[in-house]
Amino acid sequence: MTSISPGSEETLIDSSIKFQPERLINQIFRWVTIVMAVSVGVILLWITYSLLQIALPAIQAFGLGFLTNSTWNPVEEIYGTFPQIYGTILSAFLALLFAVPLGVGVAVFLTENFLPPKVVTPIAFIMELLAAIPSVVYGLWGIFVFLPAIRPALQVINKAFGWIPFFSTVPGGRHLFGASLVLAIMILPTIVAISRDTMTSLPPQLRQGAYGLGATRWETITRVLVPAGLSGIIGSVMLALGRAVGETMALAMLVGNANKANISWFSPASTIASLIANQFGEASGLQKSSLFYGALILMILTLLVNILAQMIVGRFQQVE
């Protein structure tokens, strides 16, 4: 007791009053991070609020019929985005159809000792470069190189399988199918990168356990490793889906921008993002309001995809 004299108390008080630069920096840093954290939320709220506010006249005018109506008529001021919603979902779905098997396959191929590390590193690097290409470059390449290149093949498919509704139109210069293929290339790096991380992070004991029971490499991959890494793989697919749904520039250039929902994949189509990109310049009044309504739908769509992704990933993690 005697050791705690009033004198030592005084020095305690003194030191807190004394100017301490570290303390000040700490305080400033704290406030800066709080402001930054809050500003992210504020911006999100601001965007949502303005979307809702500007879309309101269109929401009041068309209600949910906006989702099912195929007319986009600025002269008579009637707007509906059914073809765009259809095109958005179908192009994203087709892109996934090609990108998922390819992406998971590449990820497995890069991780399961098929190739020496000297080859894996450059391939992985190239995959990452693929993600760095601006989407307008993809669009330009697609329109002048890729679509003309695949056209003869698509014409053959149309001739041979034209009786199947999906291939029933003769492919022209721009179409949903070609746009979806380019989209598949664009989302491929996302699937490969995340699936690959998942596969490499699996404990090596799993691999040895399967091999030790006499599983072949194929059985080890398909029955043990891919199921064990399923949550990561699904997560990568969902992220890719989010990107595919929102992708704008390349699709606006490639999809053909036809305001019609066509069952045939070889016909021109439209997506919500491409519609907005094409029309925002001259839009005003109810048309502008309708574009904002479309943007709102797009935002809700990507939000749903993300929520779904979280749910699926969470569910598989529970099983593990």
Partner 1 sequence: MNPSTRPSSTSDTLTNDNIVIRTENVSIFYGAFQAVRNVFLDVPKHNVVALIGPSGCGKSTLLRCYNRLNDLIPGARVEGKISYQGVDLYDPKIDPVEVRRRIGMVFQKANPFPKSIYENVAFGARINGFKGNMDELVERSLRGAALWDEVKDKLKESGLSLSGGQQQRLCIARTIAIEPEVILMDEPCSALDPISTLRVEDLMHELKKRFTIIIVTHNMQQASRVADMTAFFNAEATEGGSRFGYLVEYDKTYNIFNSPKQQATQDYVSGRFG
Binding residues for partner 1 (CB under 8 A): 113, 116, 203, 205-216, 219, 223-224, 227-228, 319-320
Helices (H), the chain: 6-17, 21-62, 82-111, 117-132, 135-141, 147-161, 176-201, 204-212, 217-219, 226-228, 230-246, 249-254, 272-279, 285-319
Burial label for 227, CB within 10 Å (0-12, 13-18, 19+), is middle
Nearest-approach distance from CB 227 to partner 1, in angstroms: 7
Nearest-approach distance from CB 104 to partner 1, in angstroms: 18
Residues with Cβ within 8 Å of 136's Cβ and at least 6 positions away in sequence, in order, are 249, 250, 253
Segment (H or E) for 79: strand 78-79
When the beta carbons of 30 and 223 are compared against partner 1, the nearer one is 223
Tell me the angle at which helices 285-319 and 272-279 cross, rounded to the nearest 10 degrees: 150
Nearest-approach distance from CB 123 to partner 1, in angstroms: 18
When the beta carbons of 19 and 218 are compared against partner 1, the nearer one is 218
Nearest-approach distance from CB 195 to partner 1, in angstroms: 16
CB neighbours (10 Å) of residue 78? Answer: 14
| Spatial separation of the C-alpha atoms in residues 73 and 320, rounded to whole Å | 52
| Spatial separation of the C-alpha atoms in residues 275 and 246, rounded to whole Å | 12
Residues with Cβ within 8 Å of 83's Cβ and at least 6 positions away in sequence, in order, are 70, 258, 259, 260, 261, 269, 270
| Spatial separation of the C-alpha atoms in residues 273 and 246, rounded to whole Å | 6
When the beta carbons of 6 and 204 are compared against partner 1, the nearer one is 204
When the beta carbons of 231 and 259 are compared against partner 1, the nearer one is 231
| Spatial separation of the C-alpha atoms in residues 182 and 175, rounded to whole Å | 11
**Helix, coil or strand: residue 175:** coil
Nearest-approach distance from CB 214 to partner 1, in angstroms: 3
Nearest-approach distance from CB 208 to partner 1, in angstroms: 6
Nearest-approach distance from CB 320 to partner 1, in angstroms: 4
When the beta carbons of 157 and 228 are compared against partner 1, the nearer one is 228
When the beta carbons of 206 and 258 are compared against partner 1, the nearer one is 206
When the beta carbons of 172 and 227 are compared against partner 1, the nearer one is 227
Write phi, then psi, for 79 (nearest 5 degrees). -130, 140
When the beta carbons of 185 and 233 are compared against partner 1, the nearer one is 233
Nearest-approach distance from CB 228 to partner 1, in angstroms: 5
